[in-house]
A and B are shown apart, each in its own frame.
Chain A
Amino acid sequence: MSAYFADVATLARKDLRLELRARSLVPAMLLFVVAALVVFHFALPSGSSDLAAKGMLWVAIVFTALLGLTRAFVAEREQRMLDGLLLAPCDRSAIWLAKALAMLGFLVVAELVALPAFALFFSGIDGATIAGVALADLGICAVGTVLAAMAAAGRARELLLPLLFLPLAIPIVVGGVGAGVADEPARYLGFLALYDGVFAIISWASFEYVVTE
């Protein structure tokens, strides 16, 4: 088990190092999420409710994550690096877990800017919303990474990923918005945690089949 997590750490560190060198993903995600919130700020009529604004936050988060996921396997695809990783004797699910953790890190960085920006443009953020965002991030990265790997192997990858990801993100949006606006957020947070658990297990178990030609 310790060897498994050592492989995950090695691979995740590699992804972070690649991003530090290339700086292609996080700046794009930051720019996108801030630009989206600015657009929503002007798009919502003045006097709109906080409920509508919370919905906009989730639209921004889901599409920012999608932007990141679209480029999650760029190096592996363009340089055929997935072959190199598949040849290595590590468990193939370690590749998924490492990539999902790296994506989680990038998404959290984007949200560290997005949430204060949302508070500035719209309304304050409560603890339930932050908990919802944190739980949603886990689900987004677990499901999104396996779908990104699937899309990377196909030809129409830019088209395929949103088509696969957005329907599976609907429960995340439902849970996230619910946690932010309901009087009893625990039910929605529990739903998000259940989604995370179920889809993390499915993604972990299916990754090997997704990347095997």
Chain B
Amino acid sequence: MIEARKLGRTYGTKHVIRDLDLDVGRGDFLLLTGPNGSGKTTLLRLIAGLLVPTAGELDVRAPRERIGFLGHEPLVYRELTAIENLDLYGRLYRVPERRERIGMLLERFDLWEARNQRADSFSRGMLQRLALCRALLHEPELLVLDEPFSALDEDGAALLDRELGELRPRATFVVSTHDPDRLEPLSSQRLAFA
């Protein structure tokens, strides 16, 4: 599903990724580990189509509407309510039975009671759960997750564990984490950045 050859990305004169070869098959779970600033986020943004490579080739065989991305920012408008944010994305992704799907995700991520609250009143953990709802809303076949457990409390993390376990047979994953032990049972490949 993802094939990279001699992939490179620079910011100005700084090489963040250099000569990276990568093969991720359909249904694989690639775990990215490494210290801050090592290039994990850049690789995830390249795969999601938010960055273009400055060298080499990257082939992601999933259309944009089938990619789910979770980054460092929740990518929700703070002035809109949880339900308004998900409705915006649901319309743009043309999610069938949008309202039902939004309701189901909000309930599953324990945000139903807060559905009509503006996102700027949410705690960091609630924002992360809303961001997960956004990333999963359109039932993506490729999930690109950048430190998905950050800001989640124990309950939220357990919820995400359960979600990832359920989605594991149906999707391809590329996930960066500082806690590889947590995701090790799900992963099929590991790429360590230095």
Cross-chain contact B80 with A81 (CB below 8 angstroms): no
Please report which residues of chain B, range 67-84, place their CB below 8 angstroms from some CB of chain A when the two chains form the complex. 67, 69, 71, 73, 75-80, 84
Q: Which among B21-29, B49-57, B150-158 touches the partner chain?
A: B49-57
Cross-chain contact B49 with A86 (CB below 8 angstroms): yes
Interface string of A129-163 (1 = CB under 8 A from B): 00000000000000000000000000000000000
Beta-carbon nearest neighbor of B91 in chain A: A10
Cross-chain contact A213 with B52 (CB below 8 angstroms): yes
Cross-chain contact A90 with B77 (CB below 8 angstroms): no
Interface string of B112-130 (1 = CB under 8 A from A): 0000001000000000000
Cross-chain contact A81 with B51 (CB below 8 angstroms): no
Residues of chain A contacted by B52 (CB below 8 angstroms): 212-213
Min C-beta distance of B139 to chain A, whole Å: 13
Cross-chain contact B77 with A14 (CB below 8 angstroms): yes
Cross-chain contact B63 with A89 (CB below 8 angstroms): yes
Residues of chain B contacted by A17 (CB below 8 angstroms): 79-80, 84
Residues of chain A contacted by B31 (CB below 8 angstroms): none
How far is B67's CA from A89's CA once the two chains are assembled, in angstroms? 9
Cross-chain contact B79 with A21 (CB below 8 angstroms): yes
- B193 contacts the other chain (Cβ, under 8 Å)? no
Cross-chain contact A83 with B50 (CB below 8 angstroms): yes
How far is B63's CA from A18's CA once the two chains are assembled, in angstroms? 29
Show 17 residue pairs from A and B whose CB-CB distance is below 8 angstroms, ordered by the A residue: A14-B80, A18-B77, A21-B79, A75-B77, A79-B73, A79-B77, A80-B75, A83-B69, A83-B71, A84-B75, A85-B92, A86-B49, A87-B75, A88-B93, A89-B64, A89-B92, A213-B52
- Which 9 pairs between the two chains have the least Cβ-Cβ distance? A84-B75, A89-B65, A88-B92, A80-B73, A21-B79, A89-B64, A10-B91, A213-B51, A18-B79
